[in-house]
A and B are shown apart, each in its own frame.
Chain A
Amino acid sequence: MIELRTTEFDPLDELAIYQKRLAAGKYGACCNFIGSMRDFNEGDEVSKMTLEHYPGMTEKFLQTICDEANEKWPLLDCLIIHRTGDINPNDSIVLTAAWSAHRDASFAACRYLIEELKHRAPFWKKENTGQGERWVSENTKAED
């Protein structure tokens, strides 16, 4: 399932709620990634952020990424929740999770979901710093 949220969400609550919808006894592994907003970036304090997206295309790509993960690994389910709009430091921005019978597929699929999201899903961050507003020019590479 993929979902965009315009308000704050608790990723651990979301995981617990979603997992209860899955077939009990069928999954043996759940890996998840939670991305949160920092109050600093590139040496500056960041007091607020706005996340813009392309309505329609963003949802389409999140679903495509889930579908691809399901094709690559034997998963029971995938979940992506992503914030849009105004975001404050410490808010959760994104949750990705993958459930499978064994851990290898779950680890690999969860990593795939967040990396592909960061490279392909149309979202754009604008930060508010003490010097004014600025667009984030690009995401950091995975090894950074």
Chain B
Amino acid sequence: MNITVKFFASLREQTGKSDASISYAEPISVLDAWKQASGMQSMPENTLCAINMEYVNHSTLLSDGDEVAFFPPVTGG
């Protein structure tokens, strides 16, 4: 199964990448996806996560074809 990973803002700079693709055999969580896509970097405590553009928590499980995104607290407006 394959998922797409996206990093935004400071997390893109921290990981050095904006996109990544990862493959796995067993169901994995959002946190597992971070570890695999970031090269086992530590995740900042206030990191927000989304699957297919909906907010989720770090323990949510991913499905084949999902897009998971990691970003810092939002600062628009």
Q: Chain B 42-57, CB within 8 Å of chain A: the 1/0 string?
A: 0000000010010100
Q: Chain B residues with Cβ under 8 A from A138's Cβ?
A: 73, 75
Knowing A124-B9, A135-B10 are in contact, say whether A118-B74 is a contact too (CB < 8 A): yes
B-contacting residues, A113-144, CB 8 Å:
114, 117-126, 135-139
Number of B positions contacting A (CB below 8 A): 15
Q: Chain B 1-22, CB within 8 Å of chain A: the 1/0 string?
A: 0000010111000000000000
Q: Chain A residues with Cβ under 8 A from B55's Cβ?
A: 120
**Within the assembled complex, what's the spacing in Å between the Cα atoms of A52 and B71?**
11
> Quick check: A123 and B75 within 8 Å, CB to CB?
yes
Knowing A54-B6, A135-B9 are in contact, say whether A124-B72 is a contact too (CB < 8 A): yes
Most A CB atoms within 10 A — which of B50, B76, B77? B76
Knowing A57-B50, A60-B53, A137-B72 are in contact, say whether A122-B8 is a contact too (CB < 8 A): yes
* Chain B interface residues (CB < 8 Å from chain A): 6, 8-10, 50, 53, 55, 69, 71-77
**Within the assembled complex, what's the spacing in Å between the Cα atoms of A137 and B50?**
19
Residue of A nearest to B6 (CB): A54
Which single member of B10, B69, B76 contacts A123 (CB below 8 Å)?
B76
Residue of A nearest to B53 (CB): A57
Residue of B nearest to A122 (CB): B74
B64 CB to closest chain A CB, in angstroms? Answer: 20
The A contact surface, by secondary structure, is mixed
Knowing A57-B69, A135-B9 are in contact, say whether A114-B74 is a contact too (CB < 8 A): no
Q: Chain B residues with Cβ under 8 A from A125's Cβ?
A: 75-76
* Chain A interface residues (CB < 8 Å from chain B): 35, 51-54, 56-57, 60, 82, 93-94, 114, 117-126, 135-139
Q: Chain B residues with Cβ under 8 A from A51's Cβ?
A: 76
**Within the assembled complex, what's the spacing in Å between the Cα atoms of A124 and B11?**
11
**Within the assembled complex, what's the spacing in Å between the Cα atoms of A117 and B77?**
7
Q: Chain A residues with Cβ under 8 A from B71's Cβ?
A: 54, 122, 124
